[in-house]
Copies of this chain bind each other. A is one copy, B any other.
Amino acid sequence: MARGNKVSSAVIRRLPRYYRYLSELQNKGTTRISSGALGTAMGLTASQIRQDLSCFGEFGQQGYGYTVSSLREEVAEIMGITRGHSAIVLGVGNLGRALIENFPFSEYGFQVRAAFDVDPKIVGSSLQGIPVYDVKKLGEFLQNEPVNVGVITVPKQVAQKIANELVAVGVSGIWNFTNVEIAVPEGSAVVESVHFSDSLLALSYMISPRGTGDDDDEMDE
């Protein structure tokens, strides 16, 4: 829902997809693209593309289209990729490890400063050059080195507790992988959850007789 000039969450959700498609185009050597062609690739109409981008300013030229590299850079700037975010990972189980070892945080403008766990077997070690500290040192660490985002991959039983600690020290964002809802005081951190179960259940629906099987359209307005 757009409230005044607030950008709708549907548009915000599409921005990363623009970035992904524009990056692919750039990798393929495409230098410019029309809103129609970009729309076809993304499953949107040309006018939806123009409308989305108009939330952020004027891009492209009538009859010429968009310059892929500059639109990609603009979208990166809009999403804050260029702002130099810093992050810590809470919980170095399989998932925390998967993120640290395989997810290209730096491509998205995030630098992972440290990881935290309770397991004495991994506390004191490092992964991809990222030190793993005892979670008891979290407060102390953050006092010395403030970070923007806490990535939570702890067991769900301690998710809220860890989130409370992050909010208390003033992180701006929580990237939540615990499969439970995290509550934070209004106006404190933004919680962005990757609910694997929601995704699997949506898939379950789409492959069931009720689902149509072709509902991959992400336009919800």
Contact B206 A192 (CB under 8 A): yes
A16 touches B201 (CB 8 A): yes
A108 to chain B, nearest CB (A): 5
Q: Which of B79, B179, B196, B215 makes the CB contact (< 8 A) with A6?
A: B215
Residue-wise, chain A 84-114 has the 8 Å CB interface mask toward B (1 for contact) of 0100000001110111011111011110000
A195 touches which of B16, B202, B220 (Cβ 8 Å): B16
8 A Cβ contacts from A148-179 to B? 148-149, 172-173, 175, 179
The 0/1 profile, CB within 8 Å of B marked 1, for residues 126-156 of chain A is 0000000000000000000000110000000
Chain A 56-85, CB within 8 Å of chain B: the 1/0 string? 100000000000000000000011110101
Given A12-B205, A181-B20, A221-B221, check contact A192 B199 (CB 8 Å). Answer: yes
Residue A13 lies at the interface, judged by CB distance under 8 Å to chain B: yes
Q: Taking the complex as formed, is A123 at the interface, i.e. its CB lies under 8 A from any CB of chain B? A: no
